C-alpha cells in the first residue's frame, strides 16, 4: 500500500483536550477524575459518544477497560493507541488523557481522509492507571498482562471503604472478560514526560526506550530509648544519629555509582518522636531507579551491606526489600519508526528513558510496544500546573499518526 502523507488537525486536538478537561475540572484549571468516580464515568460516556460518532465499535472488558475499534480491511491484530482517562486528585489536563485522545485524533484524521486501514485500529482507555483511588497503579493493565491477580484487585478499597469491585459494578463499566486486549500488531502510548529534560534541552519529542528498573527497600534502625537529659552521649544508642550516618553513606556511595541513577529516601519515621526521649527506632525507605540492571543490582548489594558499614552507633540495622522491577525495554522496530517519523516531520527529538511507570510497560510483555514523550513545562505533573504546549501535543500526535501510517503500509 502506498504510504500516505497526512497531518492531524491541531485545532481539533486542542479543542478536544479542552472538552475532556471539563470533566472533573478543578478551581485552578486541573482535573480530579479518580478511577470509576462520577467524573470518570462521565468522561468515559463522552469518550464512548465521540468514538461511536466516528463509527467505531466500543467494547468494555471485565476490568472496565474501554476499546474503540475502527475496522480494518483484514481482520488482523489491531494497532492499539491509548493510555488512561483517570487522574490523581487535583491532577493535570494532559497526563493519560493525551494518549487516549491521540488515538481519537489519529482515527478522526483517517476517517475524514476516507482511509480504511489495512488492519484494525483500536483506541484503549485503561482503568485505574493512577492508583490514586485504589492501589496499586496500572491496576487493569497489570491484570491484563498477568502481573496482578484480578480477585485480589477486586477487593482493593478506597478511602471510603468502597471496593474496586463495588465501584466497577456501580459505574456500569463492568464488561466481559472476552473483550480483554489479547493481541496487537503494536501498542503506542503518547504521554507527557512528567520531567524537565525535553524542555531543558528544547526538544519536542522523546522516543522512550524503556521504563527503568528499580528497587525499593525499607530500612529499620533499632537503638535504645533513654532520657535525653541524663544519659551521657557515650552511653547512647541513638537510632536517628545512626540513620543520619547511614543516609550520608548512601548519598556518597550511590551518588558515585552512575550519574543517571536516581535515588530517594521518601519516608522517614522516627520513634517515639518525643523531644525529651532518645529515638530508639527509625524506619525509612530507599528507592533507586536505573535502566541498567547491573547498576540496580549494585544498589541492592550496597543496601544489603548497610548493617556492616560500621557507622551504626551501636544500633541494629535491618534491611527489607519491599519490591523491585526489571527494566522494560520497548520494541526496537517501533522505536525506529518513531525516530524516523519525528525526523521526517522535522521535529527535534532524542531517545530517553521513563523513570515513571506506565500501562505500556505491562502491555509490552505481550504486544510490541513503544512510548513517546512530549515536554512538560517545568517538568510538572500530577498537579494543577501540569502543562504541555498545544504545539507539542500536536507534534506528538503527528508522530503517532505517521508511525501508524508506516505500520499500515507494511
Ligand atoms: Zn499517566
pLDDT per residue, tens digit, the chain (410 aa), is 556 679 999 999 999 999 999 999 999 999 999 999 999 999 999 999 999 999 999 999 999 999 999 999 999 999 999 999 999 999 999 999 999 999 999 999 999 999 999 999 999 999 999 999 999 999 999 999 999 999 999 999 999 999 999 999 999 999 999 999 999 999 999 999 999 999 999 999 999 999 999 999 999 999 999 999 999 999 999 999 999 999 999 999 999 999 999 999 999 999 999 999 999 999 999 999 999 999 999 999 999 999 999 999 999 999 999 999 999 999 999 999 999 999 999 999 999 999 999 999 999 999 999 999 999 999 999 999 999 999 999 999 999 999 999 999 98
Cα 226 to ligand 1 centre (Å):
47
**Whole-Å CA distances, 252 to 85, 131, 248:** 41, 33, 6
Cα 139 to ligand 1 centre (Å):
13
**Are 76 and 186 spatial neighbours (Cβ–Cβ below 8 Å)?**
no
Cα 359 to ligand 1 centre (Å):
8
Query: Quick one: pLDDT at residue 4?
Result: 62
Q: Counting beta carbons within 10 angstroms of the beta carbon of residue 377, is it exposed (0 to 12), middle (13 to 18) or buried (19 or more)?
A: middle
Residue 272 is given by DSSP the state S
In whole angstroms, what is the distance from residue 268 CA to residue 41 CA? 37
Query: Apex CA 361: angle with CA 8 and CA 32, to 5°?
Result: 65
Q: Give the largest CA-CA distance in the chain.
A: 86
In whole angstroms, what is the distance from residue 16 CA to residue 10 CA? 10
To which H or E segment does residue 257 belong?
helix 239-257
Cα 8 to ligand 1 centre (Å):
22
**Whole-Å CA distances, 372 to 331, 338, 345:** 12, 8, 15
Cα 81 to ligand 1 centre (Å):
14
Query: Quick one: pLDDT at residue 91?
Result: 96
Cα 269 to ligand 1 centre (Å):
29
Cα 191 to ligand 1 centre (Å):
7
In whole angstroms, what is the distance from residue 324 CA to residue 152 CA? 20
In whole angstroms, what is the distance from residue 166 CA to residue 168 CA? 5
Nine cell digits for residue 297: 543490582
Cα 195 to ligand 1 centre (Å):
12
- DSSP string for 381-393: -SSTT----HHHH
Cα 129 to ligand 1 centre (Å):
7
What is residue 31's three-state secondary structure? strand
Cα 334 to ligand 1 centre (Å):
20
Query: Quick one: pLDDT at residue 5?
Result: 79
Give 166-211 pLDDT, tens digit per residue.
Answer: 999 999 999 999 999 999 999 999 999 999 999 999 999 999 999 9
- DSSP string for 62-77: TT--EEEEE--SS--P
| Stated pTM of the model | 0.93
Report the DSSP beta bridge partners of residue 82: 124
Query: Quick one: pLDDT at residue 410?
Result: 82
Query: Quick one: pLDDT at residue 102?
Result: 98
Cα 84 to ligand 1 centre (Å):
7
Contacts of 22 (CB under 8 A, 6+ apart): none
Beta pairing class for 281-290 and 262-264: antiparallel
What is residue 86's three-state secondary structure? coil
Cα 367 to ligand 1 centre (Å):
19
Cα 342 to ligand 1 centre (Å):
22
In whole angstroms, what is the distance from residue 207 CA to residue 228 CA? 55
Cα 121 to ligand 1 centre (Å):
21
Amino acid at each position: 500500500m502506498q504510504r500516505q502523507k497526512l497531518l492531524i488537525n491541531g485545532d481539533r486536538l486542542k479543542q478536544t483536550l479542552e472538552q475532556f478537561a471539563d470533566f472533573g475540572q478543578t478551581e485552578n484549571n486541573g482535573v480530579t477524575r479518580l478511577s470509576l468516580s462520577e467524573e470518570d464515568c462521565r468522561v468515559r460516556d463522552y469518550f464512548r459518544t465521540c468514538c461511536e460518532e466516528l463509527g467505531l465499535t466500543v467494547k468494555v472488558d471485565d476490568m472496565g477497560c474501554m476499546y474503540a475499534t475502527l475496522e480494518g480491511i483484514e481482520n488482523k491484530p489491531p494497532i492499539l493507541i491509548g493510555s488512561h482517562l483517570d487522574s490523581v486528585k487535583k491532577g493535570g489536563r494532559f497526563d493519560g488523557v493525551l494518549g487516549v485522545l491521540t488515538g481519537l485524533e489519529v482515527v478522526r484524521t483517517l476517517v475524514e481522509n476516507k482511509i480504511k486501514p489495512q488492519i484494525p485500529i483500536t483506541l484503549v482507555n485503561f482503568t485505574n492507571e493512577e492508583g490514586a483511588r485504589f492501589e496499586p497503579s496500572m491496576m487493569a493493565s497489570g491484570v491484563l498482562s498477568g502481573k496482578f491477580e484480578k480477585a485480589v484487585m477486586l477487593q482493593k478499597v478506597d478511602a471510603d471503604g468502597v471496593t474496586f469491585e463495588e465501584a466497577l459494578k456501580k459505574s456500569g463499566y463492568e464488561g466481559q472478560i472476552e473483550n480483554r486486549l489479547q493481541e496487537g500488531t503494536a501498542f503506542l502510548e503518547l504521554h507527557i514526560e512528567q520531567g524537565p529534560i525535553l524542555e531543558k534541552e528544547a526538544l519536542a519529542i522523546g522516543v522512550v526506550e524503556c521504563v527503568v528498573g528499580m528497587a525499593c527497600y525499607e530500612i529499620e534502625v533499632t537503638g535504645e530509648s533513654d532520657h535525653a537529659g541524663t544519659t551521657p552521649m557515650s552511653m547512647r544508642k541513638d537510632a536517628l544519629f545512626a540513620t543520619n550516618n547511614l543516609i550520608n553513606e548512601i548519598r556518597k556511595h550511590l551518588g558515585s555509582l552512575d550519574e543517571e541513577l536516581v535515588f530517594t529516601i521518601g519516608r522517614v519515621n522516627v520513634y517515639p518522636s518525643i523531644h525529651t526521649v532518645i529515638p530508639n527506632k527509625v524506619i525509612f525507605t530507599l528507592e533507586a531507579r536505573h535502566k541498567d540492571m547491573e547498576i540496580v543490582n549494585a544498589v541492592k548489594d550496597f543496601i544489603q551491606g548497610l548493617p556492616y558499614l560500621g557507622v551504626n552507633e551501636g544500633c541494629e540495622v535491618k534491611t527489607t526489600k519491599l519490591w523491585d522491577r526489571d527494566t522494560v525495554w520497548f520494541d526496537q522496530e517501533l522505536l525506529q519508526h518513531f525516530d524516523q517519523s519525528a525526523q521526517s516531520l522535522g521535529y527535534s527529538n532524542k531517545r530517553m528513558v521513563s523513570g515513571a511507570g506506565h500501562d505500556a510497560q505491562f502491555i509490552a510483555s505481550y504486544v510490541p510496544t513503544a512510548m513517546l514523550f512530549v515536554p512538560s513545562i517545568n517538568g510538572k505533573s500530577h498537579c494543577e500546573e501540569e502543562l504541555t504546549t498545544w504545539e507539542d501535543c500536536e507534534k506528538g500526535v503527528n508522530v503517532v499518526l505517521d508511525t501508524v501510517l508506516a505500520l499500515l503500509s507494511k
